[in-house]
Structure 1
Amino acid sequence: MRDFRDAKAMAQTLRQSLITKDVTISHSESLELVSRMLGIADWNTLSAMLQSERRDTAAPVARLKTSTAVYPAVPLRDFVPFPNATFPLFVGRENTVLALDHAFEGAREMVCAIQRDAAVDEPGFADVYEVGLLAQLVELERLSDGSIRVLTRGIRRVALRSFASLNSGYRSEATELVESPPVDAPDLIRRSIQRFEDYAAAHGLLMPDVWSFLDQTRDLGRIADTMATRMKLPVRDKYELLAMLDPVKRLEKIDSLLDVSSRPFAPAYAATRRLALTLADRRRHQFATLEHLLLALLEDSDAAAIMQACNADLGVLGQSLVDYLDRELAHTVIETGTAAPTAAFQRVERRAALHAQETGHPAVTGANTLVALFPETRSPAARLLAEQGVSRWRVDKALARNAGKEKG
């Protein structure tokens, strides 16, 4: 892919393909889906990254001139950036625009300050957190509405000694923060990467470059920052990660956030899970597969309601699952013993717990488990769902509608 226009072409092709399947989405929705397919959070980020790649010359790397210096500053609402990440910023406040102009006239360095309260329009020193990010400005574009889109690359953590509005915009005196010396923690790295893989699968993130980086590095700080950049967390939690100067503690914190093994099952889903294992035991199957699980989910009120909202015929789906279990898994029949969940079954349950955490559910439900099935694209369960028109996109839409009704 050369630039953002190729991504737009992909989005158009996706829309046309879905239309043939009687699925209609807007142009903006197709752009967001393409972005997620490529492992990027949203279309604005993807467009900015692709345009940055087309530049003939790279921006110079920012270096703190002294241990403490004064820089143009940008207050950020509801967003916490991390070192080594490239991200777009959309700014419109007069003092922020003035600061950006000043930065581009100089060394193209600025301090990103994270606001404590996004509702504050003119923040002062008391309204921003103590730790911020020194960043390099890569590209600036003035938009028709008077705002500015600027592509930015995070460099390093800094401590804010001041933050004020001057005639030339926001300014901040910042001091470089030194992280704890590196240590070797292979078990922590391995465990956190495994859990992050589940997290990425649960969120449909395809990140080939990230996986290659994680496989090659043993830098705990870089690993933690790479994960934190892509995790959906409240601003306060993300800031806590930014403010941690000990790479070990930072990665341990992320590992604990990714660990959902202690999240309980809702009573209804606990019964559904038992039914899945029972369906395997009745057939004397050696393993409880995703097909056993999906068949049980047809009896789960939360999951069944979502599938029906996607216009699935649960009777047809159930018969297809029974046919598959009785014909295709006959070779797994054992004389004695009970069925054990397959690795895929266990992966789905871990992803379901992550989804429950993300959506604010105190316990795992059948709906969370249904969402967690979709990354298992090679399974017959996912194929049979697709045949009924049940997709991750449609399930997300149904869940959003239900959430809106509950709030109303």
Structure 2
Amino acid sequence: MRDFRDAKAMAQTLRESLTIKAVTISHSESLELVSRMFGVADWNTLSALLQAERRDTAAPIAQLKATTAFYPAVPLRDLVPFPNATYPMFVGREGSVQALNQAFEGGREIVIAIQRDAGVDDPRFADVYEIGIVVQLLELELLGDGTFRVLTRGLRRVALRSFATEAGAYRAEAADVSEPAVRDARDLIRNIYQRFQDYTAAHGILVPDIWLFFDQTRDPGQIADIVATRMKLPIRDKYELLATLDPMKRLERIEALLDLPQRPVSPTYAATNRRALGHADRHRHQYATLEHLLLALIDDADASAVMRACDADLGKLRQSLTQYLDNELKHIVSEAGSAVPTPAFERVDQRAVLHAQEVGNPAVTGVNALVALFPETRSPAARMLAEQGVSRFRVDKAIVRQAGKDKG
């Protein structure tokens, strides 16, 4: 029986067979079709596997295991989870909810598939990337807006062979991938350790646990994943780290990303981030949400000036946020440790960096974070801004007016 190493021969056979039936496809189209037959999303990925087979078998890039398994699945629009990390996910799509129900009735494991385009509401196999991750479900909680908060822990990478809706639930067929043995990486790990300290300081990232983790493990793959989890990167860049199956190459890619010119976080916005986490800690909240961040932005000199320029009543906004934090987030009260940012909080942080780059700011400020908050349309924070008449359009106008005054 043929396997993926015969892909090119199969593609040629497929073209010839279709030609007999008066169906003409290009060589590249036949390669893409054969890739899908093997459960790989595109020819580039399958080609990489073919090249890996030709290399020295003592140091393969990765191996797809022959056996597959079916799992309930959840597609994620704008979060890339990694193994060895705990994540809160917020789920609302019916297919995802049904998949969670199935998983909690079974082994509490699901496959996370990362969407190629966040705008697709009902993804199919072509709409998700080929490498996903199996996660363990730890907690499930129904929120007031009808969505679910799910606490998960990443377990291992998998290659998706299929992804579809069955009986109203998302479901995926996946094969485990085994990573190769790694040569000594102490020098590279030491270099990343030093550079990541500078990176976290520049971005205002609080990671009190990671330095202890570096001291306790020397596994290159685990270290790469833990660092990747905390880096502020676009979804595509994070996915590429997830899909880099060779631990050494993953570390080298992280090193390159740490070397890229970064927009530092202004001291004012770094203090705002700390203040947001402080609001969560004082409420004993397990997570720091966008509402904690918006409350902190009220006291951010840059962001508050723009909100006032939009005629916002910051006193009323503060009152609304305080009431929300006091009364609506009792379900995330916890006595265990410091609050961690939600995925939405992290998305806003990431978009703030991108906005600072777009507008040419030398550093990320509270204004960039305010702009980055508007795409989170389902959040109470965005709703409260709208109630005060603070829109993206008005914020952009205020920024332009302020820039004109500064030049004058």
Q: TM-score, normalised by structure 1?
A: 0.52
| 1:29-75 deviation digits (Å, cap 9, x = unpaired) | xxxxxxxxxxxxxxxxxxxxxxxxxxxxxxxxxxxx99310000000
Aligned to 2:78: 78
Aligned length: 235
The 1:215/1:122 distance shift into structure 2, 3 A limit, reads same
The sequence identity of aligned pairs, in percent, is 59
What is the Cα deviation at residue 217 of structure 1? 1.8
Q: Secondary structure at the match of 1:206?
A: coil
Q: What amino acid is aligned across from residue 148 of structure 1 in structure 2?
A: F
Indicate how the Cα distance of structure 1 residues 403 and 157 shifts in structure 2: closer, same or farther if over 3 A, else same. farther
Provide closer, same or farther for how the CA distance between residues 399 and 229 of structure 1 changes in structure 2, counting only shifts above 3 A. closer
Q: Which residue of structure 2 lines up, in the alignment, with residue 396 of structure 1?
A: 366
User: For residue 196 of structure 1, what is the aligned residue in structure 2?
Assistant: 196
1:233 CA drift (Å):
0.9
* CA spacing shift, 1:236–1:219, aligned 2, 3 Å: same
Aligned pairs (5 A) from 1:206-225: 206-225=206-225
Distance 1:400 1:139, change over 3 A: closer
| Residue in 1 that maps onto 2:115 | 115
Q: Who wins on radius of gyration, i.e. which is larger?
A: 1
Q: CA deviation at 1:248?
A: 0.8
CA contact (8 A) 1:136 1:152 kept: yes
Deviation of 1:407 after TM superposition, in Å, equals: 7.7
Q: Distance in 2 between matches of 1:219 and 1:122?
A: 38
Is the 2:141–2:150 contact (alpha carbons within 8 Å) kept by the matching residues of 1? yes
CA offset at residue 93 of structure 1?
0.9
For 1:37, the equivalent position in structure 2 comes to none
- Judged with a 3 Å threshold, the aligned counterparts in structure 2 of structure 1 residues 306 and 135 are, in CA distance, closer, same or farther, namely closer
Could you tell me whether the CA contact under 8 Å between 2:69 and 2:175 is conserved in 1? yes
Q: How far apart, CA to CA, are the structure 1 residues paired with 2:125 and 2:169? A: 14
8 Å contact kept, 2:84–2:155: yes
Q: CA shift at 1:361, angstroms?
A: 3.1
Runs (4 or more) in structure 1 with deviation over 6 Å come to 354-357, 362-365
The one-letter amino acid of 1:247's match is P
The letter for the 2-side match of 1:107 is G
Matched with 1:10 is none
Deviation at 1:177, TM superposition (A): 0.6
User: 1:6-405 counterparts in 2 under 5 A?
Assistant: 67-260=67-260, 359=355, 361=357, 367-368=362-363, 395-397=365-367, 404-405=396-397
How far apart, CA to CA, are the structure 2 residues paired with 1:255 and 1:198?
12
Q: Alignment partner of 1:72: what SS?
A: strand
- Contact (CA 8 Å) 2:228, 2:238: kept in 1 or not? yes
Alpha-carbon shift at residue 236 of structure 1 (Å): 0.8
How far did 1:404 drift? 3.2
Counterpart amino acid of 1:82?
F
Q: Give the letter aligned to residue 97 of structure 1.
A: V
User: Cα distance 1:257–1:149, how it changes in 2: closer, same or farther (>3 A)?
Assistant: same
Relative distance call for 1:407 and 1:180 in structure 2 (3 A) is farther
Q: Is the 8 A contact 2:116 2:129 kept in 1?
A: yes
1:106-134: CA deviation from partner (whole Å, max 9, x where unpaired): 00010000011111111111110000000
Q: Partner of 1:258: helix, strand, or coil?
A: helix
- State the 1:219 CA deviation: 1.1
Q: 1:149 to 1:400 in 2, by over 3 A?
A: closer
Gaps of 5+ in 1: 1-64, 265-304, 311-353, 372-394
State the alpha-carbon separation in 1 of the partners of residues 135 and 165 from structure 2: 19
In the TM superposition, residue 193 of structure 1 has moved relative to its aligned partner by 1.4
Report the Cα distance in structure 2 between the residues aligned to 1:244 and 1:217, rounded to whole angstroms: 20
Cα RMSD for the two superposed structures: 3.4
Q: 1:356, CA displacement in angstroms? A: 11
Contact 1:140 1:149 in 2 (8 A): yes
User: What are the ranges of 5 or more consecutive residues in structure 2 without an aligned counterpart?
Assistant: 1-64, 264-300, 307-349, 372-393, 402-408
For 2:92, the aligned partner's letter is G
Aligned-partner Cα distance in 1 for 2:146–2:112: 21
Query: CA, structure 1 residues 105+359, in 2 after alignment: closer, same or farther (shift >3 Å)?
Result: same
Name the CA distance, whole Å, in 1 between partners of 2:356 and 2:95: 36
Q: Shift of the alpha carbon at 1:88? A: 0.9
Asked if the contact 2:78–2:118 (Cα under 8 Å) also holds between the matched residues in 1, the reply is: yes
- Tell me the distance in 2 between the aligned counterparts of 1:158 and 1:121: 23
User: Could you tell me how far 1:216 is from its partner in structure 2?
Assistant: 2.6
Displacement of 1:214 in angstroms is: 1.2
Distance 1:149 1:255 in 2: 33
Equivalent-residue separation in structure 2 for 1:355 and 1:94 (angstroms): 27
Partner of 1:326: none
Separation (CA, whole Å) in 2 of partners of 1:238 and 1:125: 20
Equivalents in 1 of 2:192, 2:260: separation in Å? 12
